[in-house]
């Protein structure tokens, strides 16, 4: 079984996924093909992979074949699974996504999902996704593309709408970790919790949260009542007003609605860390450099299992072991009060037959209303690229809840012009006009 990693130079993420894969004792004969366009990062990823795999030898005499490729197609040839973890433009592009909007007074926290940062991250990722989709169709057409690259929903939508990829699912850990952390908050072992979440990526909703038939939401209400500090979290504030707990962190959730980031008092009340992802990105660079230096010096690596979905999917499809994950897939009647063709996050059954999404039906009306605002931004961004219409880039930002609440229309137009000039050749050629 061959698994290709695209963007393998994201060394920390690659390490965690490999640790998960190699932890399954019944996954035999794995072939790991690593691809990155940065030679140094690719060398570091290969060295780390060999350490994690025990230089190819695994318990019980099983082996893992590891190869590294600067050429993407070589990595993809014959792949059964493709794990996409690329970041186009890296930290320099991220700084642009924060620094230019900040000059206009637009506050962002993570800026990789919707919002101005998410829109422009999508636009510089789409051309690479087009090439990936074309290569997969030609050299491994039956492979499953497991996408981790953000903006998740826009990227999966573009892959489905503009490339010949047949099998794609977007993977994000936010639903799992929300359920895990809520279990701790209400004092129930996670293993005894049952939950159902659905919506859109980074703005799904915990529709059911139970244990042994007991609704755990009243316990959550009691925990909030006992600890007033919980009221200073964005998603607790959203839960109290909307009735369903959102599945993304508070700093991230603040970006998808018009209520919080525009107001300095709300930023203070809810302790929203404006610009947080810049610090996270800089720390990621430091951790990469520490890993590189440790490998060069022959020091050991400490790698923890991640419990990510991609290794679970590989194992379930290889062994027939059934699992339920939450995946991002094209909406084909899965959530009936969100538009068909958009990308939604729903429970999916995974087994030897592949990844099969579950129809959820209607979301609560207030949750669907917020999701539709999110979907509108995704729709206009994907249309901008597919149709080659630069005005749709501006329309997407005009439709974005945080930008629309914070800026005038003229400021939005000028901001988009500045970002187009700054990102330049990373954007699709038809969208480079100002």
Q: Taking Cα atoms as reference points, which of 222, 431, 201 lies closest to residue 330? A: 201
Q: Is the pLDDT of residue 58 over 80?
A: no
Q: Is the pLDDT of residue 367 over 80?
A: yes
Q: How confident is the model at residue 53 (pLDDT cuts 50, 70, 90)?
A: confident
pLDDT for res 252: 96
Give the ranges where 190-275 is alpha helix by DSSP (H): 217-226, 234-242, 250-253, 264-269
pLDDT for res 326: 98
Q: How confident is the model at residue 391 (pLDDT cuts 50, 70, 90)?
A: very high
Q: Give 104's contacts (C-beta < 8 A, 6+ positions apart).
A: 407, 411, 414, 415
pLDDT one-digit tens code per residue, 86-97: 999 999 999 999
pLDDT for res 434: 87
Q: How confident is the model at residue 55 (pLDDT cuts 50, 70, 90)?
A: very low
Exposure letters 388-426 (e unless 16+ CB within 10 A, then b): eebebbbbbbbbbbbbbebbeeebbbebbebbbebbeeb
Q: Is the pLDDT of residue 61 over 80?
A: no
pLDDT for res 60: 47
Q: Is the pLDDT of residue 341 over 50?
A: yes
Q: What are phi and psi of 277, to 5 degrees?
A: -70, -25
Average pLDDT of 341-356? 98
Average pLDDT of 369-396? 98
Helix (H, G, I), strand (E, B) or coil at 173: coil
Burial of 40 (0-12, 13-18, 19+ CB in 10 A): exposed
Of residues 23 and 245, which shows the higher confidence score? 245
pLDDT one-digit tens code per residue, 250-264: 999 999 999 999 999
Q: Which two tokens stand for residue 233?
A: 């979290």
pLDDT one-digit tens code per residue, 289-321: 999 999 999 988 888 878 899 999 999 999 999
Please say whether the beta carbons of 127 and 424 come within 8 A.
no
Helix, strand, coil shares of the chain, percent, nearest 5, are: 55, 15, 30
Please say whether the beta carbons of 384 and 392 come within 8 A.
yes
Average pLDDT of 175-190? 97
Of residues 245 and 301, which shows the higher confidence score? 245
Q: Taking Cα atoms as reference points, which of 89, 94, 103 lies closest to residue 418? A: 103
Percent of the chain with pLDDT over 90: 92
Q: Give pairs for 431-434: CB < 8 Å, separation 24+.
A: 431/123, 431/384, 431/385, 431/388, 431/390, 431/393, 432/390, 433/390
pLDDT for res 56: 43
Tally of CB atoms within 10 A around 130: 16
Q: What are phi and psi of 169, to 5 degrees?
A: -140, 140
Percent of the chain with pLDDT over 70: 98
Please say whether the beta carbons of 400 and 259 come within 8 A.
no
C-alpha to C-alpha distances, 282 to 52, 106, 128, 173, 242, nearest whole angstrom: 25, 21, 24, 22, 35
pLDDT for res 62: 52
Average pLDDT of 338-351? 98
Average pLDDT of 40-69? 80
Domains of the chain with CATH codes: 2-90+111-170 (3.40.50.720), 91-110+171-274+306-434 (3.90.1820.10)
Q: Is the pLDDT of residue 102 over 90?
A: yes
Dump the DSSP string for 21-49: HHT-TT--SEEEEEE-S-HHHHHHHHHHH
Mean pLDDT estimate for the chain: 96
Q: Give 175's contacts (C-beta < 8 A, 6+ positions apart).
A: 195, 197, 204, 247, 326, 345
The residues assigned a catalytic role are 173
Q: Is the pLDDT of residue 57 over 80?
A: no
């Amino acid at each position: 079984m061959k698994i290709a990693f695209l963007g393998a130079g994201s060394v920390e993420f690659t390490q965690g996924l490999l640790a998960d894969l190699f932890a399954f004792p019944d996954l035999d004969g794995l072939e790991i093909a690593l691809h990155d366009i940065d030679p140094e990062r690719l060398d570091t990823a290969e060295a780390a992979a060999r350490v994690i795999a025990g230089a190819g030898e695994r318990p019980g005499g099983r082996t893992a074949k590891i190869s590294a490729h600067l050429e993407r197609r070589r990595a993809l040839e014959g792949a059964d699974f493709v794990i996409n973890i690329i970041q186009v433009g890296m930290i320099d592009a991220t700084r642009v996504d924060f620094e230019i909007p900040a000059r206009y007074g637009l506050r962002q926290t993570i800026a990789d999902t919707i919002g101005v940062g998410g829109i422009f991250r999508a636009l510089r990722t789409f051309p690479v996704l087009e090439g990936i989709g074309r290569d997969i169709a030609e050299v491994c057409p039956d492979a499953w593309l497991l996408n981790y690259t953000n903006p998740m929903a826009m990227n999966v939508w573009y892959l489905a709408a503009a490339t010949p990829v047949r099998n794609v699912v977007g993977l994000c850990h936010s639903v799992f970790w929300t359920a895990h952390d809520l279990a701790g908050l209400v004092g129930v072992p996670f293993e005894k919790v049952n939950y159902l979440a659905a919506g859109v990526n980074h703005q799904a909703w915990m529709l059911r949260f139970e244990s042994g038939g007991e609704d755990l939401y009243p316990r959550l209400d009691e925990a909030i009542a006992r600890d007033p500090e919980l009221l200073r979290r964005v998603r607790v504030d959203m839960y109290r007003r909307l009735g369903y707990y959102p599945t993304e962190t508070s700093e991230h959730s603040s970006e998808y609605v018009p209520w919080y980031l525009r107001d300095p008092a709300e930023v203070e009340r809810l302790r929203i860390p404006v610009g947080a992802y810049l610090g996270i990105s800089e720390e990621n660079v430091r951790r990469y450099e520490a890993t590189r230096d440790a490998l060069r010096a022959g020091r050991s690596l400490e790698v923890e299992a991640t419990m990510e979905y991609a290794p679970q999917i590989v194992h379930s499809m290889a062994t027939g072991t059934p699992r339920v994950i939450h995946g991002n897939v094209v909406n084909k009647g899965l959530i009936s009060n969100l538009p068909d063709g958009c990308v939604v996050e729903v429970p999916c059954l995974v087994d030897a037959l592949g990844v099969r999404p579950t129809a959820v039906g209607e979301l609560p009306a207030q949750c669907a209303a917020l999701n539709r605002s999110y979907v509108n931004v995704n729709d206009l961004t994907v249309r901008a690229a597919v149709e080659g219409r630069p005005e749709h880039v501006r329309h997407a930002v005009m439709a974005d809840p945080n930008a629309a609440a914070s800026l005038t229309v003229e400021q939005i137009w000028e901001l988009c012009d500045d970002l187009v000039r700054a990102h330049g050749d990373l954007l699709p050629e038809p969208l480079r006009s100002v």
